[in-house]
């Protein structure tokens, strides 16, 4: 018999329970003050680190902290504040453009529906999921590279595409863990279940995880 590839519903619940015990109040590491600044921060975080985004956004939000203020800036003015972030030119154009749309079509408020969010420049499904979950408390799970890796490696929700992993996560994640699921999985992937060398010896869910090639504790 080959290796079992997927956790059972009970094992998935236990995995979340253990991640929850290790981190009772999971939250994004992006610094924001309201739905708009969260939306901008998440757009800026694509192919960039949260640490890098958090270094750039204070200066940007001091210059323009509302859609109305941001919409009045030129992309070049935004670029000047975020040029330490990857893809900053394209991101600057998107931030200005989405701010204008928020003012023109949503009275300056961040919309609370997936369709309206994804219609904004620079906002894809992952960004929409983060905003819906973090700002509005919806039970959605955004699948980034960390969540994708952890879901496949542990056997929680194996899939070859981001959409397939999200679909399986939504099915196997108990409702009571939905709100924290994205943060637990992303932080677990960022700090423990790392891409090149997972630190299995200090993993809270190693006994549940189906990953065969677990990394032994390094010798001192």
pLDDT band at 188 (very low <50, low <70, confident <90, very high): very high
CB 152 within 8 A of CB 162: no
CB 70 within 8 A of CB 40: yes
d(CA 126, CA 186): 12
| pLDDT in the model for residue 2 | 54
Long-range contacts of 106-115 (CB under 8 A, 24+ apart): 108/66, 108/67, 108/68, 109/35, 110/35, 110/36, 110/38, 110/39, 110/135, 112/136
pLDDT band at 140 (very low <50, low <70, confident <90, very high): very high
| pLDDT in the model for residue 26 | 86
| pLDDT in the model for residue 3 | 64
User: Looking at per-residue confidence, does 76 or 220 come out higher?
Assistant: 76
- For tokens 């519903």, the residue is 9
Name the residues annotated as catalytic.
Answer: 126, 144
pLDDT band at 167 (very low <50, low <70, confident <90, very high): very high
| pLDDT in the model for residue 58 | 97
Instruction: Give me the mean pLDDT over the 192-203 stretch.
Output: 96
| pLDDT in the model for residue 172 | 97
Give the mean pLDDT of the chain. 95
Question: What is the per-residue DSSP string for 120-153?
Answer: STT--HHHHHHHHHHHH--------HHHHHHHHH
| pLDDT in the model for residue 208 | 96
Cα 108 to chain center, whole Å?
24
Instruction: Give me the mean pLDDT over the 148-163 stretch.
Output: 97
d(CA 8, CA 94): 41
| pLDDT in the model for residue 152 | 97
DSSP letter at 193? S
Whose CA is closest to 187, among 146, 153, 220, 216? 146
| pLDDT in the model for residue 27 | 86
pLDDT band at 220 (very low <50, low <70, confident <90, very high): confident
């Amino acid at each position: 018999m080959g290796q079992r590839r997927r956790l059972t519903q009970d094992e998935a619940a236990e995995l979340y329970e253990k991640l929850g015990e290790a981190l009772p109040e999971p939250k994004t590491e992006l610094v924001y003050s309201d739905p708009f600044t969260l939306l901008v921060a998440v757009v800026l975080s694509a192919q960039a680190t949260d640490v890098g985004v958090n270094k750039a956004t204070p200066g940007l939000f001091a210059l323009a902290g509302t859609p109305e203020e941001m919409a009045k800036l030129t992309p070049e003015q935004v670029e000047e504040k975020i040029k330490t972030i990857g893809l900053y030119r394209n991101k600057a154009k998107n931030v200005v453009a989405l701010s204008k749309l928020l003012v023109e079509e949503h009275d300056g408020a961040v919309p609370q529906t997936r369709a309206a969010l994804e219609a904004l420049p620079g906002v894809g499904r992952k960004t929409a999921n983060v905003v819906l979950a973090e700002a509005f408390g919806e039970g959605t799970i955004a699948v980034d590279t960390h969540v994708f890796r952890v879901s496949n490696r542990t056997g929680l929700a194996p899939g070859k595409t981001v959409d397939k992993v999200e679909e399986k996560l939504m099915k196997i994640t108990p409702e009571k863990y939905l709100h924290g699921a994205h943060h637990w999985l992303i932080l677990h992937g960022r700090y423990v279940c790392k891409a090149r060398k997972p630190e299995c010896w200090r993993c809270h869910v190693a006994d549940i995880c189906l990953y065969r090639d677990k990394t032994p504790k390094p010798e001192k």
